[in-house]
Amino acid sequence: MTLSFILPNLLTWDGDRPVLGGLERMAWALIRTARRAGYTVDVHQNGSSDWTRTIDGIPIRGHGLARLSLLAALESIHHHTTQSLYLSIMQEPMAYRPHSLVVSHGVWWDAPGMDADVQFQACRSALQQAEAIVSVDYNFLNVMRAVYPSLADKITVIPNCVDTRQFTPPSVPRPDPPLILFPRRIDPARGISLFLEAVAPLIAADRSLRVTMSVDRNNRPWNERFDRQLEAFPFSDRVQLVSTPFDEMPQLYRQADIVVIPSTYSEGTSLACLEAMASGSAVVATNIGGLTNLILSGFNGLLVPPRAGAVRDAIADLLARPAWRRELADNARRSAVCFGLEQWQASWTNALFSVYGRPASGGGQNG
C-alpha cells in the first residue's frame, strides 16, 4: 500500500521546478526516511493542470482543480489516495482522512491581519480527525494545550534537524573583520526589512564591517519589492547579495561570525538557525515561534524582540566582545548536536510506524 504525501507544492504548480523552502526541504527528508523505513510513497500537490512527474522514482502528481478551489483539489487527492500524510495543517476546517498524520510547522496565525479564531478552528479540525499531529516546535503544542486541552495529547513534538556532518565549524579561526550573514528567503515573515534597518547604523559606524545576504528568490512580487528596498538602502554597495545553492551553504556558514535570524512571524524550528548553530556561528534570533526552542539567550546565541533596535544592539554587543561571541558559537555547535539528523530520522520512523504500521517485508522503493 502506498503512503501518500499531501502538501501545497513540492514542485511549482506547473510541475517544472522544485520549490525551495523549509517545508519542502523537510518533505524531501521525510520522504527519504519513509522509503528507508520500507514504505512506497507518492506525492500529491496543487497544480495548474493535471500532471505527473517522477523524481528519484517518486511519482509527484499535480491536481489542476486547485485553480478553482483548494478544497476541491483536496477532494481529488483523496479520490486518488488511501493512506495519507498531510505535510501541513490546512488554513481552514476541512476533512482529513482517518488514521492519518498531520504536520504542524508552528504557529502561523501571528501574521499581520490573520484571523486567529478561524485558524484555531482549522487546528481543531485537524486535531479531531487525524490520528496524530507532529509539530516541529513546542510553541504550537503549548498554544493548543491552552486552547484545546482535551485534544493536545494527540500532538508529538519532533523538532527540525540539521546534518551536523555536513554543517560544521571552520577548521581555522575566522579572519577579521567579522562577517554578518542573513541566510533567508525573500519573505516579509523572515525579517528582511528588519535586518536592513538593524545593520544600517552598524555599517555606517564601521567601514570594515562585512555583510552578506544569501537570499532565495522564489516569489516574484516579493523579489521586486526587495530589489526596490535594497536600491533605496543607503549602504547597498556595502552589502554583498548572493543566491547560494544549498550544497554551497555549509561553506558560507563557516565564513560567518554572526548569523541573524530576524523572523517577524510564522516561524518554527528554523532550518537556517540550526544550520548556523551547527556551523559554529554566533546567532542573533528574534523571540518568535520555535526559535525560542533553539536559542537559550546568553548561552548558545541571543534572543531579542523583533525590533530593529534590539537586533542592532545584539549584533553590536557580539562585535564588541569577540571572546564571548566565540563562546556562544561553541555552545551553539554543542546544542545543534541535539537536533541531529539521525535522531530526527529515528523519531519520525517511530511516528510513521505508530500511525501506519510497519510496511510489509520487501515493500518500499529504493532510496
The predicted pLDDT at position 20 comes to 81
Q: Is the pLDDT confidence value at 362 over 70?
A: no
Write the CB contacts of 153 (distance below 8 Å, at least 6 apart in sequence). none
Position 168 pLDDT exceeds 60? yes
Query: Average pLDDT, whole number, for the chain?
Result: 94
For 59-74, the pLDDT digits (tens) are: 999 999 999 998 899 9
In tens, the pLDDT along 99-135 reads 999 999 999 999 999 999 999 999 999 999 999 999 9
* pLDDT tens-digit readout, 182-191: 999 888 999 9
Asked whether residue 363 carries a pLDDT value surpassing 60, the answer given is no
What is the pLDDT averaged over residues 227-255? 91
- Domain(s) of CATH 3.40.50.2000: residues in the chain: 2-161+341-356, 179-339
- Average of per-residue pLDDT across 330-339: 98
281-291, pLDDT tens digit by residue? 999 999 999 99
**Which residue has 554587543 as its cell numbers?**
317
Between CA 188 and CA 261 the distance in angstroms is 12
* The pLDDT value given to residue 222: 79
What is residue 107's predicted lDDT score, i.e. its pLDDT?
95
> pTM for the complete prediction?
0.94
Which contacts qualify for 24-27: CB closer than 8 Å, 24 or more apart?
Answer: 25/271, 26/87, 26/103, 26/105, 26/136, 26/160, 26/271, 27/87
Q: What residue type is assigned to position 124 of the chain? A: R
- Domain range 2-161+341-356, CATH class: alpha beta
CATH code for the structural domain at 179-339: 3.40.50.2000
pLDDT at 297 over 70: yes
Torsion of Cα atoms, 193 then 218 then 122 then 15, to 10°: 180
Q: From CA 151, how far away is CA 165, in angstroms rounded?
A: 38
**pLDDT the model gives residue 366:** 56
Residue 135 β-bridge partners: 104, 157
